[in-house]
């Protein structure tokens, strides 16, 4: 079996992006563009991938890790010069080498595989990946001869009127005989206006030597979209978003309005889950089966087991276990562990806390740095006070306990199983099993005091108007 190699060009800074972030690191649906390219290449079982880095080399290597080898293009002297930097790693190898760009996030493994297959079967020394478009203006045209071989690639500015009508364009992706590629790169000259060494010149040199050059025309033109500015970035994101959404729907997920549903590349969703409009699913989020994610919710790096209902809430770094529910307008922060059958109501925030089976936290409550057992009721307006201004402290509440509304649970504190905290209490001491803790001032009523306050005057004026 013929060995397969790939070179990813990722050395450019991308000045048209007008960004401090290097171009190939700009995200499309949650993943850097160059990461999308590498991910698709990996699906084709490439023997060795080399990424050409330059600007932002350290950041690119940090993003891609050990999934690829690297070659440095210290000076940006053109695409041909960039590929040549991989010679030390690949130059002596026998096989096929695919060259692609790190700013083309929409190419698929299927397209790369077909390019390799076409190249190997045709016996060509080089194969150009092409596409057809109704609007070819601005692209290099692929001119074929009567044997369907590539005769030449003509840039827009150099086309004749007849050539300008050709709708097959060069995508900038190539497959070469590896050793022919590196041998020919040494013959490329930089006698052009930019003084750079261009990879397409390899095709011209090979043609001049009578070596066969072929082309594979791919099915979807939009795959070839390169990203050079923020406008193209938005277009690529839209295409990727549609592609991701359609894949989930094919796998049994219901998207009520795919056009307003944003799902990033690494998100996983189980069958028969329903996603309502305006939902954003980001990072490494994993959603089980039979869940309902309500409109305008956002989940990031969150795990939902089966049968979860999320209503208009924001979840990050959290886990919700089978049959639990949340919302509307609640917030799970990192390390929130919501147990089976737990109810989190509206305007509740949970951070670094575990809630046991069937516990209920209905509304207007903060639970931070706490462990709550099962079958607990936490009343409205309860605050787990976990911060003393310097350190965080932990509170524990046992099974079947009751926390009355408006309570402050000041950590560190232990509330045992079957304990009761009266509404409006500020708890600073441990509460034993089957005790009721009351920590509030005694009510005192003062006769006639109402008339001493401004409210009495306002009330009298209102009564007189009536």
Residue 345 counted as an annotated binding residue: no
Element (H or E) spanning 213, and its range?
strand 213-217
**Up-side HSE of residue 174: CA atoms within 13 Å toward CB?**
26
67 assigned to a ligand binding site? no
Q: Is 352 within any annotated ligand binding site?
A: no
Determine whether the annotation assigns residue 405 to a binding site.
yes
265 labelled binding-site residue:
no
With DSSP H G I counted as helix, E B as strand and the rest as coil, what are the percentages for the chain, rounded to 5? 25, 30, 45
> Is 79 a known ligand-binding residue?
yes
CA separation for the pair 383, 394 (Å, rounded) = 13
Looking from the CA of 290 toward its CB, the CA atoms found within 13 Å total 6
Q: Is 109 annotated as a binding residue?
A: no
Q: Is the dihedral of CA 126, 128, 129, 132 positive or negative?
A: negative
Residue 228 marked as a ligand binder: yes
Q: Is 10 annotated as a binding residue?
A: yes
Q: In this structure, what are the phi and psi dihedrals at residue 62, rounded to the nearest 5 degrees?
A: -65, -35
- Known binding residue 420? Answer is no
Among the listed residues 363, 393, 394, 418, the single catalytic one is: 363
CA atoms 198, 201, 206, 209: torsion sign: negative
* Lookup: tokens for 195: 């003084």
170 is in an annotated binding site: yes
In total, the chain counts a number of residues equal to 466
CB contact set of 40 (below 8 Å; sequence gap of 6+): 107, 108, 109, 112
Query: Is 362 marked as binding a ligand?
Result: no
Compute the chain's Rg from CA coordinates.
Answer: 32
363 is a catalytic site residue:
yes
Q: Residue 155 annotated as binding?
A: yes
140 annotated binding-site participant: yes
**DSSP structural state of residue 295:** T
Rounded to whole angstroms, the Cα distance separating 361 from 342 reads: 8
Q: Would the annotation count 283 as a binding residue?
A: no
464 is in an annotated binding site: no
Instruction: List C-alpha distances in Å: 340 to 13, 125, 250, 308.
Output: 49, 61, 29, 9
Tokens at 354, concatenated? 């575990």
**What is d(CA 397, CA 212) in angstroms, rounded to the nearest whole number?**
77
| Residue 371 burial (CB count, 10 A) | 16
Annotated binding-site residue? 387? yes
> Does residue 425 have a known ligand-binding role?
no
103 annotated as ligand-binding: yes
The answer on whether 12 is annotated among ligand-binding residues is yes
> How far is residue 201's CA from residue 171's CA, in Å, rounded to a whole number?
15
Q: How far is CA 280 from CA 7, 140, 222, 311, in A?
A: 34, 38, 24, 13
Contacts for 172 with CB less than 8 Å, ≥ 6 apart:
100, 101, 104, 129, 224, 226
Q: Which residue positions form the known binding site for Mg(2+)?
A: 103, 228
Q: Which residue positions form the known binding site for UDP-N-acetyl-alpha-D-glucosamine?
A: 9-12, 23, 73, 78-79, 140, 155, 170, 228, 333, 351, 366, 377
Positions annotated as catalytic residues are: 363
Q: Which residue positions form the known binding site?
A: 9-12, 23, 73, 78-79, 103, 140, 155, 170, 228, 333, 351, 366, 377, 386-387, 405, 423, 440
Q: Which residue positions form the known binding site for acetyl-CoA?
A: 386-387, 405, 423, 440
């Amino acid at each position: 079996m013929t060995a397969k190699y790939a070179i990813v060009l990722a050395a450019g800074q991308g000045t048209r992006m007008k960004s401090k972030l290097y171009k190939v690191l700009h995200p499309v649906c949650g993943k850097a563009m160059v990461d999308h390219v590498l991910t698709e290449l990996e699906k084709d079982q490439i023997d060795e991938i080399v990424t050409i880095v330059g600007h932002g080399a350290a950041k690119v290597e940090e993003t891609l890790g050990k999934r690829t080898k690297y070659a440095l293009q210290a000076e940006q002297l053109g695409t041909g010069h960039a590929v040549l930097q991989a010679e030390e790693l690949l130059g002596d190898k026998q096989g096929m080498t695919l060259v692609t760009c790190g700013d083309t996030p929409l190419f698929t493994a299927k397209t790369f595989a077909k390019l390799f297959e076409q190249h190997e079967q045709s016996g060509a020394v080089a194969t150009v990946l092409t596409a057809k478009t109704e609007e070819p203006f601005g692209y290099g045209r692929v001119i074929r001869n009567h044997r369907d071989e590539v005769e030449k690639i003509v840039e827009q500015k150099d086309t004749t009127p007849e050539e300008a009508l050709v709708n097959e364009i060069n995508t900038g992706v190539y497959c070469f005989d590896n050793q022919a590629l590196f041998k020919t790169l040494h013959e490329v000259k930089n006698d052009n206006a930019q003084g750079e060494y261009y990879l397409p010149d390899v095709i011209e040199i090979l043609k001049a030597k009578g070596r066969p050059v072929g082309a594979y025309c791919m099915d979807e033109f939009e795959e070839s979209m390169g990203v050079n500015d923020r406008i193209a970035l938005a277009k690529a994101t839209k295409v990727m978003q549609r592609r991701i959404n359609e894949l989930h729907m094919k796998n049994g997920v219901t998207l009520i309005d795919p056009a307003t549903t944003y799902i990033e590349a690494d998100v996983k969703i189980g069958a028969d889950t329903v996603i309502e409009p305006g939902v954003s699913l980001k990072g490494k989020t994993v959603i089980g089966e039979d869940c309902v994610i309500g409109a305008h919710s956002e989940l990031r790096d969150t795990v939902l087991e089966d049968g979860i209902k999320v209503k208009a809430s924001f979840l990050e770094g959290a886990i919700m276990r089978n049959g639990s529910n949340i919302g509307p307008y609640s917030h799970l922060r990192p390390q929130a562990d919501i147990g089976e059958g737990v109810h989190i109501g509206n305007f509740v925030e949970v951070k670094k806390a575990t809630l046991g089976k069937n516990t209920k936290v209905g509304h207007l409550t903060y639970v931070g740095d706490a462990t709550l057992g099962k079958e607990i009721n936490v009343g409205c307006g309860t605050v787990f006070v976990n911060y003393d201004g310097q350190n965080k402290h932990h509170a524990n509440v046992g099974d079947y306990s009751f926390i009355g509304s408006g309570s402050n649970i000041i950590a560190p504190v232990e509330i045992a199983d079957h304990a009761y905290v009266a509404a409006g209490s500020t708890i600073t001491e441990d509460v034993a099993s089957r005790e009721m803790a009351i920590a509030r001032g005694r009510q005192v009523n003062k006769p006639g005091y109402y008339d001493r306050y401004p409210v009495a005057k306002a009330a009298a004026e209102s009564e007189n108007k009536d």
